Structure 1
Amino acid sequence: MLVTHIYFNGQCKEAIELYKQALNASVETLIEDPEHSLVIHAEMLIDNKPLIVNDFGNDDGYSKSGGYQLCVQFDDEAALLRAYEIMQNGSTTIESLQPTDYSPCTVRFIDMFDVRWAFWV
C-alpha cells in the first residue's frame, strides 16, 4: 500500500482542521509534543484513504520536492464546490474551475499550507 506523508512545519494542527472541514477527513491517530504544541504523528482518513501528517521532517536540507499533487474525485459538482470554497481561502489557483475532456468540473490549486491539489468530478 502506498501512503502519502506530508510535513507541515508547525502548521499541522491547522491543516488537519481544514481537511476535516473541507474533505470530511477523520483523525485516526494524533500524537502531539505537548511542550512545543506540535504534531509528532497523525493518521487521517480522507474518503477511507490514509494520509499521514506531522510537523517535522521537511527542513532536513535534502530536498524541496514540488513534484506531487493530491487528487480528490468527488461524486458530484456540489460536493467539489463545497470543499473548494472552504480550502480556497489563502490558496493559489493553478487552473480555475472548468470543464475538461475527462470531467465536467475540475480545479487545481495550492492550499495555504503549500500542498498542491486537484479536484474533479
Structure 2
Amino acid sequence: MQVQPYLFFEGRCEEAVTFYRDALGAQVHALLRYSDAPQGGDAGCPGGTPPPADKVMHASLQIGQTLVMASDGFAAGHPEFKGISLSLAADDDAQARKMFDALAAGGQVQQPLGPSFFASSFGMLTDRFGVSWMVVAGAKG
C-alpha cells in the first residue's frame, strides 16, 4: 500500500507543475485539462458547472520515488494547504541545499537549512504556492 499526496492548487496547477519540474527535477507523467474530459462530463461538478476548460483536471508527477498528483480543483483561486508538510529526503547535504534553495525561491523560509541534532541538514519552508516542505539529509536513526 502507498499513500500518495494529491494537491489542489485552485487555478495555479500548471504553474506549480512547471515549478516542481524545474526545482526538483520532477517528471510529469500526465497533465489532463478539463477540456480533455468527455462531453457531458461535468455532471459531478457542484452546480453542474465545470472549472474553465484550460485548467488542469489531473496531473501526476514523479518526485524521486514518490508519485504526487495535482489539480486545479474548482479553480476558486484560494488554495489551502493546512496541517500538512511534504518531506524531502535528500541523498546528501549538497542535494538538500539545492532542493531547499529552489523551493524557497518566491516562498518563505520557516527554518533555515542547517545541521540539527537528528540530521546533517534540516530546514522548513513554504513554497510560492503555499505548500509546506521539510528538507532533510543525513537523518540519524
The TM-score, its normalising length taken from structure 2, stands at 0.76
Matched residues in 1 for 2:53 and 2:108: separation? 29
Task: Give RMSD over aligned pairs.
Answer: 1.8
Shift of 1:115: 0.2
* Whole-Å separation in 2 of the counterparts to 1:65 and 1:109: 13
In 1, distance between residues paired with 2:74 and 2:55? 12
The percent of aligned pairs where both chains have the same amino acid is 24
Does the Cα contact within 8 Å between 1:41 and 1:54 map onto a contact in 2? yes
Deviation at 1:33, TM superposition (A): 3.1
Q: Deviations over 1:4-50 (max 9, x none)?
A: 10000111111111111121111111101356421110011111211
Residue aligning to 1:44: 61
**Aligned counterpart in structure 2 of residue 88 of structure 1, from 88, 104, 126:** 104
Are 1:17 and 2:33 an aligned pair? no
Give unmatched runs, 5+ long, in structure 1.
none
CA contact (8 A) 2:85 2:133 kept: yes
Structure ID, larger Rg:
2
Partner of 1:71: 87
Amino acid in the other structure paired with 2:108: T
Amino acid at match of 2:89: Q
State the AA in 1 paired with 2:3: L
- 1:85 and 1:17 map into 2 onto residues whose CA distance is 16
Structure 1 position 27 matched with structure 2 position 44: no
TM-score normalised according to structure 1 size: 0.87
Q: Which has the higher helix share?
A: 2
- Structure 2 unaligned residues grouped into runs of 5+: 36-51
Relative to structure 1, the CA distance from residue 92 to residue 102 in structure 2 (aligned partners, 3 Å threshold; closer, same or farther) is same
